[in-house]
């Protein structure tokens, strides 16, 4: 009887942090494009490195790229390869997250600006694609598990 109680208490104490972490990581992000679809990666890609956790989104009717969560714009950039990019910093359930949007044709937010969920960050050409990356501090996270694009 004492062994059963001990095992039960051990199970509760050992499993409790897992239950708490599972509860704190359950959140949904607003989709940055209306009527967006996730573009699947090419099937003939050769995988040598870690899987790329980038999500590519496309929406035919929508050209306004919106914030997935409230937060602070930490960087805006332009490169020839990825066009305009925006980095959004936010805290969700006490954890630091960064969202990196690339492929925008025009950015309308500035560095250090505070944004709300759904606020327009910039624009893309009709039918163009945006790429999104999500990081928990410096660790890449699979954003497709959290995006609510229908």
Residue 8 lies in a domain: no
Contacts of 145 (CB under 8 A, 6+ apart): none
pLDDT for the residue numbered 37: 86
Mean pLDDT for each consecutive 10-residue tract of the chain (150 residues)? 52 45 70 89 66 86 94 94 93 95 95 97 94 94 90
Please report the pLDDT score of residue 25 as a whole number: 66
* pTM beyond 0.85: no
Residue linked to tokens 């040598």: 48
* Residue with token string 């004492």: 2
CATH number (domain holding residue 51):
2.70.70.10
Number of domains making up the chain: 1
Q: Specify if 85 maps to a domain.
A: yes
Range of the domain at 107: 28-148
Q: Is residue 134 within 8 Å of residue 141, measured between CB atoms? A: yes
pLDDT for res 4: 53
Q: What is the pLDDT of residue 9?
A: 45
Tell me, yes or no, whether 21 lies in a domain: no
């Amino acid at each position: 009887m004492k062994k059963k109680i001990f095992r039960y208490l051990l199970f509760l104490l050992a499993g409790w942090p897992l239950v708490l972490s599972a509860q704190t990581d359950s959140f949904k992000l607003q989709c940055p494009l209306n009527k967006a679809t996730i573009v699947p990666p090419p099937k003939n890609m050769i995988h040598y490195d870690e899987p790329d956790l980038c999500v590519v989104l496309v929406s035919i009717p929508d050209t306004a790229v919106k914030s997935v969560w409230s937060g602070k714009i930490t960087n805006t950039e332009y490169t020839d390869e990825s066009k305009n990019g925006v980095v959004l910093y936010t805290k969700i359930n006490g954890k630091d997250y960064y969202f990196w949007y690339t492929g925008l044709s025009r950015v309308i937010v500035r560095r250090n600006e505070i944004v709300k969920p759904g606020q327009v960050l910039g624009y893309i050409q009709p039918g163009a694609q945006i790429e999104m990356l999500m990081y928990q501090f410096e660790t890449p996270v699979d954003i497709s598990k959290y995006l609510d694009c229908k």
